[in-house]
Structure 1
Amino acid sequence: MTTTDLPTPVSYREVTDANGRVYRLGETDIDIMGRKRKWMVILPWVGMMGISSAEYAFASAEDTLHTAHHWSSGHIFWMLGVWVFFQAAVAFPAGKLRESGKLPARWAMMCGALGTLLGYLSLAFAPHVVVAYIGFGMFSGMGAGMVYATCVNMVAKWYPERKGGKTGFVNGGFAYGSVPFVFLFTGFMDLGNFRWVLVCVGVFLAAVVAFAGYFFRDPPKNWWPADVDPLKKPDDARARRAMEKNPPAVHQYTPKEAWQTGRVGLMWFCLLCTSGVNIFGIAFQVPFGDEAGFAGGIVATAMSLKAIVNGTGRGVIGWLSDRYGRKQCLIFVCIVLGLSQYGILFSGNIGNLPLFLLFSSISGFGGGAIFPMFAAMTADYFGENNNASNYGLVYSSKLVSGLLGSGMGAVVVSAWGYGGAFVLAGTISLFAGFVATFLHPPGRPKAKRISPNPQPLGEETA
């Protein structure tokens, strides 16, 4: 990483568009932080990879933890639900602290690194399951939530004119960063070495998060790239297409104003449904694969494929949303996620391994792609200045979805079997796609409500 010595403060000017939104122009990324803004994509991506194994690889360690600590399978699934609960719970308060200046991005990442370390230490040495709930479920979950919210919102602030692909790329680190640890926990970790494996993983991942976060820096409020004029169509084709399909928010909404538009509630419900289905798949695909008769190594491969496609899908859908629109891509993703649940059930019931791997990968794509859509859409609808808090409101749906997808998922599986559970999951995701059709950026008229001028330009004075 190259850093340029910061020059004397650079003058800037503020311009206002027709909607009253203010843009701060004149300062480049080099002027502000001494390096190119691409580093505010690469470093958050690294930070996201550092927290991913706690969610995506945790289920792969289930058998070893169950035997080593004599914890029931129910505890394992509920522990994951608690982790997701606290990961989501910290998003809004951390966002408020970040935007108030009381919690700089660098220190938020350091807190996340500490939480990551405490989580793995508690899994290794917990004398009682309650300690694991506190250490892994609460502290690791809160740490991951701080890292997640900081990384995702950092990208939106540095790329306000073309955030979809960048947000998706960073979001992808939250999935495929876990791939090596899925194989590590299933193929190498056993009762004889699980403690030092967990400790080594915890130390390594905490160091990764801390290193990435050390270089974080926010741009000023209302900052806009100096080479992109917000009052006219950009010369760059990619930025022009992205702004046409996903126009900037009409002004910078506070969390209260954003909630009053009604869009936050709709987004919250859609994310509740889809993230619950995603977490259900993470928690129960391995047990379902075992019951279907697939070998443990094959099931680990399926989970790895799910994680890889999950992460890659986040970047791909972010890029596509810049081209075709966030809402259209969100609806598509909900449909894909829903139909793939039926496919997983079908392939498992008939014992067809290739189909199981295929639908597992498709489910991974759908389950991952929903998150960058909501992250980018929140900034598109409500602006970047309060994005950490606004996205925290939307992301708080995981407070419920984590418990429903993992803990209540276990209850549904016990009552209805895997067949009923996967059918219910698929139906919920399809319903979320229907709800998403009602989303529309606040303050902008719908296209179908705009009537053409009956008098073309010039006829008024003819």
Structure 2
Amino acid sequence: MTTTDVTQVASYREVTDRNGRVYRVGESDIDIMGRKRKWMVILPWVGMMGISSAEYAFASAEDTLHEAHHWSSGSIYWMMTVWVFCQAAVAFPAGRLRENGKLPARWAMMLGAAGTLMGYLSLAYAPHVAIAFFGFGMFSGMGAGMVYATCVNMVGKWYPERKGGKTGFVNGGFAYGSVPFVFIFTGFMDGSNFRWVLVAVGVFLAGVVAVAGFYFRDPPKNWWPPSVDPLNPPEDPRARRALEKNPPADKQYSPLEAWKTGRVALLWFCLACTSGVNIFGIAFQVDIGEDAGFAGGIVATAMSLKAIVNGTGRGVIGWLSDLYGRKLCLLYVCAILGLAQFGIIWSAEMKNLTLFLIFSAISGFGGGAIFPMFAALTADYFGENNNATNYGMVYSSKLVSGLGAGMGSVVVGAWGYNGAFTLAGCISIFAGFMALFLSPPGRNNKRRITPNPQPLGEEMT
């Protein structure tokens, strides 16, 4: 990759569509940052892989942490809940600082890398579980939140004309980047070597995040690729179909304007429900598999399969949403995620390993596919200029859904695995019902009707 921080001076002009939305056209990606915009898909994807193991592989390390530190299983699950809580909590303030220019993308990624390293050091050397709650739960969670928000919003800004597939691809790195570490934590790490394994993993992943983030660069406000005419149907059939199925926002909404439309609250609720089900599955799929009598290595394979399908599902559903529309795809995903929970119960009761692996994969697909849908819908509804802040409001729903791990342990203790997974399935299906009420704001009210200069009657006289 060749790059330079000295951008070329290029002329641009601003055009306005029939709704009053402004587009800045004329500057190419190379003019702005000295390299093609595809790097703003590849690098965020790499950055997302660097933070994925903290959430998706953490449950696989639970037994070793319990043995080595004598931490209770409940404490470890609540530590994951704190991590998810802090990851979501930082999304809105970090997005606000990003949009105000006070936190450049490069520095957000560096802070994320520092948090990642601190989290793994805490798991390795914390003398008390409370220290791990701060080091891993808080600092690693906040660092991951900065990386996540920066990467997801970066790709949407560089691909405003067909963001679905690109957003899904980047989002997928947050899942399948954890696959090697699931096997490391379950098959290699034990009470005798856990410290150096955790430190090595932390140093490696922090370096991945820092190197990827060093090359991040935001486009100017209202930027639109010069190869796509924002006022007329594009010649590229992929871009034309994506814009037909998912029209751009009628204007660039500020966070307050976006909130007043009511769509943010509905998106928030639907994401809270579905991501809670996803987090619950991540935390307890290993346990229900072991309870069914499957060997530890097999359960790790199921968890890895879930992570792989979770990640690839994000890219696939993003691509499909460009073809068929994001709302329709979201409805299908909510149903798939909900029904998969019942399939996991059924296969565990039957002790059928093949079905368990199949439904684990389906659950992984549904649990991953929800995230790029909400990220892309937020940009579709409210525009790209304030997307880091607007999506930060929507993504803050993980403040609640993070309870899928901690409260999940309470529900499992009270109702057993069958009751807990049944509740999770019903919650996801209910979220799909609520998503039926989603619609883009302002578009119906912005229709322009040109009055007839000669009203009917005068034409006939």
Q: Report the TM range for the smaller structure's normalisation.
A: over 0.9
Instruction: Please give the residue correspondences for 1:195-206 in structure 2 after superposition, counting only pairs within 5 Å.
Output: 195-206=195-206
Task: Give the Cα–Cα distance (whole angstroms) in 1 for the partners of residues 17 and 336 of structure 2.
Answer: 38
Tell me which residue corresponds to 1:350: 350
> How far did 1:450 drift?
12
d(CA) in 1 for partners of 2:169, 2:448: 35
* Inter-CA distance 196–442: structure 2 relative to 1 (3 Å threshold): same
Calculate percent identity across the aligned residue pairs: 80
Instruction: Name the structure 2 match of 1:60.
Output: 60
CA contact (8 A) 2:7 2:33 kept: no
Query: 1:6–1:30: 8 Å Cα contact kept in structure 2?
Result: no
Deviations 1:142-173 (A, max 9, x none): 00000000000000000000000000000000
Give the partner amino acid of 2:209.
V
The C-alpha deviation readout for 1:190-244, integer Å capped at 9, x for no partner, is 1110000000000000000000000000000000001111000000000000000
Instruction: Say if 1:340 and 1:363, in contact at 8 Å, map to a contact too.
Output: yes
Structure 1 residue 11 displacement after superposition: 1.1
Q: Give, in angstroms, the shift of residue 444 of structure 1.
A: 1.5
Q: Distance in 2 between matches of 1:412 and 1:155?
A: 38
Aligned partners of 1:3, 1:253: CA distance in 2, in Å? 33
Which deviates more, 8-17 or 408-417?
Answer: 8-17
Q: 1:222 to 1:461 in 2, by over 3 A?
A: farther
User: SS of 2:235's equivalent?
Assistant: coil
Q: What is aligned with 1:419?
A: 418
1:419-458 superposed matches below 5 A: 419-445=418-444
Runs ≥4 residues deviating over 3 A: 4-8
CA distance in 1, matches of 2:316, 2:280: 23
Structure 2 counterpart of 1:326, one-letter code:
R
Tell me which residue corresponds to 1:322: 322
Q: Secondary structure at the match of 2:444?
A: coil
**1:314-360 deviation line (CA, Å, top 9, x unaligned):** 00000000000010000000000000000000000110000000000
CA distance in 2, matches of 1:123, 1:3: 37
- Amino acid corresponding to residue 412 of structure 2 in structure 1: V
- Contact 2:305 2:357 survives alignment (8 Å): yes
Answer yes or no: is the 8 Å Cα contact 2:117–2:202 preserved in 1: yes
SS at match of 2:3: coil
Match of 2:98 in 1: 98
Amino acid at match of 2:271: L
- Residue equivalent to 2:366: 366
Structure 1: distance between partners of 2:80 and 2:4 = 43
Query: Which secondary structure state, in structure 2, belongs to the residue aligned with residue 216 of structure 1?
Result: coil
SS of structure 2 residue aligned to 1:268: helix
Looking at structure 1, the residues matched to 95 and 5 of structure 2 have their Cα atoms a distance apart, in angstroms, of 30
Once residues 132 and 11 of structure 2 are traced to their aligned partners in structure 1, the CA distance between those partners, rounded to angstroms, is: 52
Normalising by the residue count of structure 2, what TM-score does the alignment of the two structures yield? Answer: 0.96
Deviation of the 1:4 alpha carbon: 6.1
Residues in 2 aligned to 1:38 and 1:363: alpha-carbon distance in whole angstroms = 30
Q: Which amino acid aligns with 1:233?
A: P
Offset of residue 5 of structure 1: 7.8
**Alpha-carbon separation, structure 2, partners of 1:12 and 1:259:** 32
Aligned to 1:129: 129
For residues 375 and 459 of structure 2, the distance between their equivalents in structure 1, rounded to whole angstroms, comes to 47
Aligned pair in 2 of structure 1 residues 7, 125: CA closer, same or farther (>3 Å)? closer
| Offset of residue 445 of structure 1 | 2.4
Q: What letter corresponds to residue 28 of structure 2 in structure 1?
A: T
Report what 1:380 is aligned to: 380
SS where residue 24 of structure 1 aligns? Answer: strand
| Match in the other structure for 1:239 | 239
The equivalent residue for 2:119 is 119
Distance in 2 (CA, whole Å) between partners of 1:5 and 1:297 is 48
Q: Report how far residue 7 of structure 1 moved.
A: 5.6
The one-letter code matched in structure 1 to 2:426 is: T
Q: Give the distance between the partners of 2:40 and 2:5, measured in 1 at CA.
A: 18
- Match of 2:293, SS? coil
Work out whether residues 89 and 399 of structure 1, in 8 Å CA contact, stay in contact via their aligned partners in 2: yes
Shift of 1:461: 8.4
Question: 1:145 is aligned with what amino acid?
Answer: G
Look up the match of 1:457: none
Deviations 1:407-453 (A, max 9, x none): 1100000000001000000000000000000000001229xx999xx
Aligned match of 2:409: 410
Tell me which amino acid in the other structure corresponds to 2:85. F
Q: 1:109 corresponds to which residue?
A: 109
| Amino acid in the other structure paired with 1:417 | G
Tell me if structure 2 keeps the 8 A contact 1:6–1:31: no
Q: Which amino acid in structure 2 is aligned with residue 437 of structure 1?
A: L
| 1:285-334 deviation digits (Å, cap 9, x = unpaired) | 00111100000000000000000000000000000000000100000000
Q: How many residues align?
A: 451
| Equivalent residue letter for 2:118 | L
Aligned-residue offset at 1:179: 0.1
**Distance in 2 separating the partners of 1:203 and 1:61:** 17
Is the Cα contact below 8 Å between 1:249 and 1:381 reproduced in 2? yes
What are the residue-to-residue correspondences of 1:222-233 with 2, within 5 Å?
A: 222-233=222-233
CA distance in 2, matches of 1:265, 1:355: 37
Q: Which amino acid aligns with 1:37?
A: R
CA spacing shift, 1:269–1:5, aligned 2, 3 Å: closer
Q: Secondary structure at the match of 1:439?
A: coil
Quick one: distance in 1 between partners of 2:352 and 2:417?
Answer: 16
Superposed CA RMSD:
1.5
1:28 matched to which residue of 2? 28
The CA deviation string for residues 373-422 of structure 1, in whole angstroms up to 9 with x for no partner, is: 0000000000000000000000000001102x001100000000001000
1:4–1:30 contact (8 Å) kept in structure 2? no
Structure 1 residue 9: Cα displacement: 1.5
In structure 2, C-alpha distance between the alignment counterparts of 1:373 and 1:333, rounded to whole Å: 9
Task: Say if 1:274 and 1:370, in contact at 8 Å, map to a contact too.
Answer: yes
Asked if the contact 2:268–2:397 (Cα under 8 Å) also holds between the matched residues in 1, the reply is: yes
1:72 corresponding residue in structure 2:
72
2:167, 2:372 within 8 Å by CA — same for their partners in 1? yes
Residue 3 of structure 1: CA displacement?
2.4
Q: Give secondary structure in 2 for the equivalent of 1:212.
A: helix
Q: Are the structure 2 counterparts of residues 16 and 292 from structure 1 closer, same or farther at C-alpha, using a change threshold of 3 Å?
A: same
2: distance between equivalents of 1:29 and 1:81? 39
Which AA in structure 1 matches 2:340? S
CA distance in 2: counterparts of 1:46 and 1:206, whole angstroms? 11
Distance in 2 (CA, whole Å) between partners of 1:82 and 1:200 is 23
1:150 to 2:153 alignment: no
CA distance in 2, matches of 1:79, 1:283: 11
Structure 1 counterpart of 2:423, which letter? L
Query: Any gaps of 5 or more consecutive residues in structure 1?
Result: 452-459
